[in-house]
Each structure stands twice: as C-alpha cells, then as structure tokens.
Structure 1
C-alpha cells in the first residue's frame, strides 16, 4: 500500500497507509532503522459486542490540516453508528507521535466504546531479542532492544490505559497479540521477549449523539530515562497542547516565504505547500535527504529507497532553495562535504548517518580492471545545486568551509574524469542507474557542475581555478554537441555505450532525461536542437491512454504494466512530465506548462502525496509514495512558472504579456 500520510520532525518519521495502519517508524535518523519495517500497527474498535479493525470496509478520508503536518482523518462505519475524527502528528521538538481521536457516537443511546492500538515493532529492523513489558509507574507499554526504546501510552477523559497485552508474534505459528483484541478483552500479560508485539486499549462511555476525545502516543528514545521524561512531559503539558503547538509550528514553517502565486489555481497552490511539508518529513536533521520512506518496495528487491542519493538531494535542494528554505538545504550540502570521497566523487547512495548505502554497481569491469562504481551526474548536480543556493542566499560564510573540501575536490574530479580524445566525461552509470556509458544527461550535468564551480571559484577570487573549470565546461559543451547530437534523427542521443573495443555504440532510445541539455545550460530551451529533441520526447513518450503523462524512456521495463510500447512506452512518471512542463515554461508557453502542472495536481493522492510513477490505465500510484524527487520537481516547476510569469508581466485585464501586439504576436 502506498503511504498516504507522513508526519515527522527530522528525528522521528511515521508513515500511515490508506487504512491508517502505521507501516514505518524511523528513529533516530529519518530513513534509517525502520522499527516497523512494513509490518502493521493497527487501529481497531469494539462497540456493542462487535470488533472491527480499520480496513477497506470503513469510509475514509485521509488528509492534512491546511498548511500543516497535523493530519485530518475521518473514519466512518455506518453499521456501527460510529465516526472517528483523528489528528496525528509528530511533535516539532519532542520525539513523540501524538494521536488525538474524537469518538463520535452517532446512535441515540449511551454506549461504551473501546479503541485498540496494536504495535508490531521490529526494533532496529529485527524480529528477535526484543522485550515488551508493562511499566506500572508510567502506565505504559515499553518496547526495547539495545539503546532503542519506545513507550506506548494513552489517556481518555477519565483514565489512562484500560487494558493491555504483550506477547509473541510471527513465531511458532502465532499470528500476534493483536488477535487478542478481537474479543474485546486483553490478557494484561505483563512481559514478553523474543519476537513480540503489544496491544493497548482506551475506553470511553459516550451518550447518544455525543462525542468524547482520547489520546494515545508513542515516544521514542535511546534509554528508559529518555522516554520516561517524554512521558512526564506529555502528562504535564497535556497532549492537546502538544498537538496545537505542532500545528502552529508547521503552519508558520509553510509560510516562511511570502509568494505571490499569480494566476495559479488554488489546487496547485495547495499542492505546492503540501509538497514543501512532505519534503520536510523526508529530511533528516543532520542533512540527509532520502528518496522515500515507503518500505513497501522491499517486496520488489529486498531493498528500499530510504537512502540519500546525492542526485535526489541536489534536486530537492533546488526546489527548497527556490522556495526560500535555505536553512534546510545547508545541512544537505554539509552532509555532502562529509561524504565526498578522496577521489573527489560522491558514490551512488548513503545511509542518513553518512555511511555507504547498498549498491549494484561493480567496482571492476569484465576484465577485472578497477572502475569507479558511480553515477557522475550526482557529483556534478551537487555543485550545480550549491551554486544555485549561493546565488539566492548570498551566504558566503556558509559556503566558505565547503570551498576546498567539497567544491574544489568535486570540480577537480569532473575536470580529470574525462576522455582525453573526446573531452566527454568518462563512462559512468546513468541517472536511471541501469546502464554504464556516456549519457547526454550526465554530460549536461557535468557541464552545469563545472560552470557552477567556476562561478563559485570566482566568488573566492580563485581566478586560476575559475578559468580551469570554465575551460573544461566549454570543452564538455563542444563535445556534447559533436558526439551526442544526431543530425540524422534531429535530436540528442540517450547515451554512448562502450563496446569493449575502445569505441561506442550509439543508443538512440528516446529518453526524457535529455531535457538536461537546456536545464543545465548547455543550450537554451528555444534552440532548434533542443526543440526537436523535446518534441520527440513528447511524441514518443507521452502515454496514449486516458491517463497520459510522460514515461522515462521507450520500453521502460521497471514496474512495467503494459507491453504495448507504442501506446504505453512506460509508466507515467511525475518528474518526467514536469520536465516537459519546465521546457514549455522556459519557452514562455505558460498555458502548456500550467496544463501539465494541473495534470500533476489532479493525480496526487487525496492527501497530496506524489508517488514515483502511476499506473497508465488506472492512475493508481506505483513504486514508492511519496517520492521526494516528485515533490521537489513540482515545487521547482511552480517557481519557474511564477518567475516566467513575472518576467512576461502578464496584463491582469487581458491575460497577455504586455509586449504583445493586438494580433497577439511577439515584437
């Protein structure tokens, strides 16, 4: 199930699926140590002798409060005469998931209603060596393993926990203690160890047509003392106040930059702000920006997207900086400064603590000769994004410590990692992480990275380096135009693949990533070569179903749904569709750009979450959801639209640029 709601504070991140099951809890790093790991922490109800877990039989509305990271959820089951109105949030300062649940008794008679919360915690991503027990002084269940502690508590109008149970799960044929809730009674078992889970209940007696509010919480810490202090804080301050504090904090966070949204529809403005907030949940306070916290992808290849790809982080930084969130992106650049290798390149991906992430890129070729297991565009894009950051923030004190450590090391690597004959970058893996070669996207990113490094060197008066990087950038540009543009086809190639005989095979597959030629400044968007290329992208990669959208490239096999390549060249990706929008916007074709922005907003989830890709026939999210790259590209495209709108100075009365004639032609 895709993740419908994400709440977090940079240390603690919690994801909910469409049935409001908690599926992911990350702590103390965002994206590292998933203590649920795709299992289920359920919410259930007992009323009038009937039990029901929240599932597909309930009427559900899952959303967020406006401009906030506090959820707004409505759950109804008419046959039970019951409605639950739920607000979930992770406190902005305290590492606590707070759950406020208003129980509405829609019958005419007084009833006792019980809520059940199950917790299948796989601490440190394991299923053994875990202890769960009831702590009487805290009136809470505690799960712990090593230095990871989770406290589960709650309170109703009149009391704390009603009943509880801890026991064995997923071992010896046992499903789990959560099954104990289904008869409306819990065993009050005091302790269990090994592979364990727990359930707690809260009860409320509610008159007919009235409601009552209960609160539950999960506190995370590194010791019993830490979670005990959090428990004391919750009970002293009160969970209601903590929920209000969180709402107010993120409302103000979302309004950091006062932006004039011009003629943009309300749904795009809402989606813009929601994207910023969702991005914040996926960013660790130590700088790591993960691709996605959705762990369901584990079923596909036994790995996740919960890593820091420098590429994704660079694109997220471009979007956040465009929206004015410089303080958030600075942590990412510092992260890259710590992560950069002695060679001067960044590797495929990292854990949020800075250690290397898993990889499928080999360290040698078929002849057992060493090769760097990299995607070179990742190193280049960090430089490109860092210059963009400085250009807007003008904070020289921030970039000064990064100059030698990150900027010069990375730029020197880009200069050296080139073919002495062609002057193109040497082979590395492409941005899709599938093919090793010399791709148009990577070469364009290297050009953009070298130009950025030249400008940054100029900021520090380092004329020699500025000239060196600028010359190298010019050489890369000339080489791109010479070797990667196909005059016969009238468009840029996807890549040149080494043939093992000191030559290359030309890959003419139409690939959306060639947008990088104009995005990183190799050529302007209105250059005839760019225009022909982007027209080919739109023609060949637009999905010809009622869904629409742009595929990555022809015959994209990843999560492939249809083999009718002419009709469905691949699944529609949000980023690829937005790249087409960026091109139209850069050409001042704002109507077309707005049309594609609307297409994106219409295909987000009810809560505003954007997946990586969608089903070409049903619009259902595919792969991971949310994908930070999707949200950041939406933010960036909106800002580019507004910048172009301001540049064109659209007349409010007629809706045309002020430099158009009555015939509508440009002067």
Structure 2
C-alpha cells in the first residue's frame, strides 16, 4: 500500500498510507529503526447520536469505507492537509500532521465540524501499535498521571503520547494556547498473544478499560472528548514526543504545553516554505501544476534524507512482505543521482553530507558495495562473493562511477574547494584507480559487475557509461589539483572505455546499442539485445552526445519498443520486465511504466532540443508524470499499466529526484535555446530573474 504522506525532519520520519493509517515511524534514522514495522496505528471517532444522558452513539475508524478521504499537503510545506468526511455520522474532520523541523516531535491538529442541528459530544481515539526497535519483545506501555499521558519505552527508545483541546479560533487562525490537555480515557494491553488483538478493539464501544500498564507485546489507545455546538466546530491536538530517555520526551512535552502545539505547526510550515523557495527560481512559463510538483518533489526528497547524509531509496515498509526486506537503504547509485538533482536545485548542504557518507564507506580498494544502512554499516545483499567456482566482486560498478561523476557536478556548481580537499585522495583518486584497473585489457571496457536493476551480471551499457563519466570526472579533479599525470591516466582510460563501447556494445546490424555483453569461455561475446530504458545513460553521463546518430537510433528504439500502449502510457524498464508484472501482452505492455524510465525519455528530448518547440515533447512527459502522481504529489516506483495505480514502493526517492532534475534540465535548456539577437546572451536563466527583466524592459532596467 503506498505511503501518500511522509513527514519528517531527518531524524524522525512518519509515513501515512492512503487510508490515513500511520504506518511507519522511523527514529533515530530515516530508514532505521521502524518502530511500527508497517503495522497500522488507527484513528477513530465516536459521535453522539442521541439517547438519554448522551448514551447513544456510533463509532467508526476513519479508514472504514463510509469515510470520504482526501490526503494532500498544505502548499510548499511538509504539513499535511487531510479532509475526512462521514456523511452518515454528519461529521467532518480537517487534519494537519507535521514533524517539527527541529525537535523529534510529531503533531496533529484536528478541527472537528458538526453538521447536525443539535449539539453533540465527539470522542477522538488514537491507537498506538509499536514494535519498539523493530521487535515486540520487552516493550512497556503505561499511563503517567502527572503528565496525563501515555508512554511506551524499551531500552533507549521513549515515546510520550498526549492530546489537548484548543481554544476558540481567532481572526488569524487557530488559537496558539491549549484550553486543556490530557486524556479522558486510556488503555494499555497485550496484542498478538493468544486471542488478544489489542486495545483498539476496546475503542469500538467508545469506552476504554483504563488498564494503567502492560509489558511484552503491547499496544495502547487513548481518547479525547470534545463538545460541539450545533453546526459548530472544535479543535483538538495530538502529539508524540520521541527521545532516548524519559527526561528527553517529558521536556518536549512540557515545551508543547507551554508554547502550545499550534506554535510548532506554524513554525514548521514557515520553515519548509523558506526551505523550498530558497533559490527563488524563475520558472519562465512552466505550468503551475509542474512548479507545484517540482517543489513537492524537493520536499519529499528531504524526508528521505538522513541527517548523516544517507539518502534512502524508499521507506515504504509494505514491500517487506515479498522478500522480508525493504528499500530502506542507501544505494550509492540512487544517492548519487538524487544528490545531482539536489545540487541542481541548490541544496549543497545536504549533498555534502551524502558525499561524506560515501567517503566513509568506500573500501580501501576503491569500490562501493551494493548498499548501506543509514548508520553506515553494510546492508543486506544478494550479490555473491563466490560463484561458479570463482571469486568475484559483489558490486554494481555504476555506483562507484556515478558517485565520482556526481561529485564533479557538485564541485562545478559550488566550487567548495575546502569541502573537496579531504575527499580528493580518500574517495576520488581511490575510486578512479579502481575503475582504471578493473577493466578488460583487450577491450578497455569495465569487467563484469551487476546491473543497475540488480538482476544480471555482465558488462552493461549503463555501467560502461557511468564508469566513463566517473573517469572523466576524476581526470577533471586531477587537473584542478595540478596532478596532470593522473589526469592523463584517467583521460586515457575513459577514451579506452568509449572505444570499447564503440567496438563491442554498438551493434551495426541492429542499428542500436546492446544492453549488455558477457565474455564466454571461448573468448566470444554473448550479446544481450534487449531494449532497456537504461541505455539513456550512454548520453546522460557524457560518453555520447544526445544527438549522436547512435544515440538517436538507440533512444528511438527505446521509445518505440518500451512505450506502454495503453491509456496509461509511460515507459517500461525493458522488454518483458517480470518485476511486479501484471500483463503478458508484451507487444502492448513490455512492462509496468516507471517514472524514472519515462523521464529519461524526456531528458533525451531536452538534451537534443534546439528550440522551444522541440521541448514540447518533454513538457508532455512532465505533464504525464503530474497526471500519474497521487493527489498528494507523491510518485511511486511504477504504476499499473491499465489502472495507473501506484505499484511497488511509494514514494520512490529516485522518482522524485528524476522529476526535479528533468524540470531543471528543461529550464536550463530554455536558456540555451532563447538568445537575445542584440547581445547574444540568454534572455532567460532560471537562476537569475534579472536576466529576463533586462531583456524584456531594457529602458526600465537602465533607468533604475
């Protein structure tokens, strides 16, 4: 089930699914530890419906089918904008969720609207199904009377849950102060042991048992009561403070009570609006919906980046049901391409931490391994060190090449020499030497490694392009540092890689590049001619120009053979892609549409465009992405080829990074295609709004 709404701050990440379940709660790292393991934390409502002494009422969880749900974000923020409506109960809820940008604090504001002609009591129920530190052995949940709150803890992980009633709204919005705080009802209990389902079952009769403590495999539920006038409303707040000690969480709790939870919501909204608009780009005539999705993509990207620089592929835990593993790791390839997009958008502080992370984990031999945990330890892998009786490196070499390539793009943009200095020997030169040596002396091509899809081993065109890009970048760094001998060594190696691609990967009989080749025991080549969207890498990292006839022919084959011929459209990864396959009609559905693959086609249109008119094809694809996103703006890894529903993990960090990168490539290409006939300078630059004004109103600019 996709995660429609991630909110986080780099150490705490909370994910909601499309039913508005709280499904993932990561702390103290984005991607680790998931203290729910994907189990739902429920939110329910009891509404008084009549009867003596208010005894008549009806309960409903907001994920039930009678609720109408609309899950979005407030514009330009990491604060949710959720609307819940139950016509049968005559009740509407407007919810805003956020993780404070500075403290490990999750908050929710709930504005409850009574649509009936009589006053009514409404009870809000909040359920907590934690597996602290990713297992349910030895947890404790208890009610703390002094703070009128529930606490869950195990070892150095503490969670304090509380709620309160807000004051009447002011002309400027919700009141900042609480009228009252604390729980009206609570229960702690055992779950998953024998017949015990959990305390959430108690909520369904609107009365919680009040058990004050439970240990082992436990959950808890709490309730807050609100009295609503006829056709009136009331505001409630719910918050969870997270820390490593009792003192930490109670200090956060005191601050929330003192300042008011509204203060935290407002300051978090203000912070993210400032963050996402830091560069003040001139978007030219880019449609408003694409600008919105560009900003949303940057914000979603930020939720998936750990404070220590780990860029997580995805944090949707549901994928674990297929192979008991997740995407919550740092793949150097994904990270390098995400960092490239973030650098284009101006977020060098984030990307510096990523490159530092890579510097810390690169092996002494100079290669990066399959993937890493957020704490920099080596992550799980299915790549063997030994196969067919021989030793082999369990690597995807494109990951090493792309980190160096991305780092050079970073340096070109920011010229942060003192940041680069400690990385030069330990990361750049070390990786470059590995890439030089890990090659076939006969062809000059890299030796076999695993492909970017992690499915096959060989000499992949994408990997060859990434290694060429990495060697070219290393040569540029060596030149910058005055080491001309190394620069020549890496330039020569890159040229040999390019020559090997011309000779071995280009297939004249097919008029396109092969996806992959493998050297056989007799010295011949086994050639994989499958059309693969990753062939776009041949131009993306600089080995070939986008308008090179070989690239044109190859990308036209990608477009013709991989475009999904349904009403949904989009580009598949490769022909007969089996991953989450839903159709065997390969002629029409070669695979499920992937956002990154579809955007690579747009990137090619952009790279070869010579005019605004030639950019229209790319703009059409950007609009396709916007149409295929969730209402919240979240992009999955892939979508269903017939329904367009999200598939696999959601959000996929790489999808959002590729969208942001493609938008920026589009804007930059605009500046190259529109030149002033008088001064021969671009009439537009996304980085400099003054450039447009100077050319559109030269007399006014001169007068000022």
- How does the TM-score come out when normalised to structure 2? 0.92
Q: Which position in structure 1 is the counterpart of 2:156?
A: 147
Tell me the equivalent position of 2:26. 26
Contact 2:147 2:182 in 1 (8 A): no
User: What is residue 53 of structure 1 aligned with on the other side?
Assistant: 61
Q: Where does 1:244-643 land on structure 2 (aligned, <5 Å)?
A: 244-367=266-389, 369-588=390-609, 589-643=614-668
**Alignment partner of 2:391: what SS?**
coil
Q: Which of residues 220, 224, 237 is equivalent to 1:202?
A: 224
Is the contact between residue 74 and residue 80 of structure 2 (CA under 8 Å) also seen in structure 1? yes
What do residues 71-102 of structure 1 show as CA deviations (whole Å, max 9, x unaligned)? 11110001111010001000000101011111
Counterpart residue number, 2:688 = none
Shift in Å, 1:301: 1.1
Aligned-partner Cα distance in 2 for 1:337–1:107 = 62
Aligned to 1:220, what secondary structure does the other structure show? strand
Closer/same/farther in 2, CA of residues 216 and 614 from structure 1, 3 Å limit: same
CA drift of 1:651 comes to 9.2
Q: Secondary structure at the match of 2:215?
A: strand
* Distance change >3 Å, CA 650–CA 627, structure 1 → 2: farther
C-alpha distance in structure 2 between counterparts of 1:175 and 1:561, whole Å = 34
Cα distance in 1, alignment partners of residues 408 and 598 from structure 2: 25
Q: Which residue of 1 aligns with 2:215?
A: 193
Moved more, 156-165 or 235-244: 156-165
Per-residue CA deviation, residues 157-201 of structure 1 (Å, 9 max, x unaligned), is 444211111101111121111111000010111110111001011
Q: Deviations over 1:369-414 (max 9, x none)?
A: 2211000000000001000000001111111111111111111111
What is the CA-CA distance between 1:613 and the residue it aligns to? 0.2
Structure 1 residue 501, shift from structure 2 partner: 4.5
* 1:522 shift after superposition: 1.1
SS in 2 for 1:115: strand
Counterpart for residue 168 of structure 2? none
Contact (CA 8 Å) 2:310, 2:354: kept in 1 or not? yes
Partner of 1:98: 107
Partner SS state of residue 658, structure 2: helix
CA shift for structure 1 position 138: 2.0
Query: Offset of 1:415 from its aligned partner?
Result: 0.6
Q: In structure 2, what is the Cα distance between the partners aligned to 1:627 and 1:651?
A: 40
Range moving further from structure 2, 252-261 or 610-619: 252-261
- 1:163-242 pair list within 5 angstroms: 163-242=185-264
| CA apart distance, 1:650 | 7.4
Shift of residue 497 of structure 1?
2.6
Deviations 1:244-266 (A, max 9, x none): 01000001000011111112111
In structure 1, what is the Cα distance between the partners aligned to 2:400 and 2:662?
Answer: 23
Check conservation: 2:514, 2:531, Cα contact below 8 A.
Answer: yes
Distance 2:676 2:233 in 1: 52
Give the 3 Å change call, closer, same or farther, for CA 502–194 of structure 1 in structure 2: farther
The number of aligned residues is 653
2:9 and 2:99 in contact (8 A); partners too: yes
Q: 2:478, 2:244 → 1: CA distance?
A: 43
1:327 Cα offset (Å): 0.8
**TM-score, length-scaled by structure 1:** 0.97
Q: CA deviation at 1:139?
A: 1.5
Measure how far apart 1:114 and its partner are.
Answer: 0.4
Deviations 1:54-85 (A, max 9, x none): 11321111110110001111100011110100
The Cα shift of 1:333 comes to: 0.3
Q: Single out whichever of 617-626 and 100-109 deviates more from structure 2.
A: 100-109
Tell me how far 1:300 sits from its aligned partner. 1.3
Q: Deviations over 1:477-507 (max 9, x none)?
A: 1111111000000000000134355443100
- Note the aligned Cα RMSD (angstroms): 1.2
Unpaired runs of 5+ in structure 1?
A: 659-667
Partners of 2:180 and 2:312 lie apart in 1 by 42
2:85 is the alignment partner of 1:76: yes
Give the secondary structure class of the aligned counterpart of 1:252: helix
What SS does the corresponding residue of 2:274 show, helix, strand or coil?
Answer: helix
Runs (5+) with no aligned partner, structure 2: 49-56, 166-178, 684-704
Larger mean CA deviation between 492-501 and 630-639 belongs to 492-501
Question: Deviations for 1:345-375, whole angstroms, at most 9, x for unmatched residues?
Answer: 00110000000110010011211x2211000
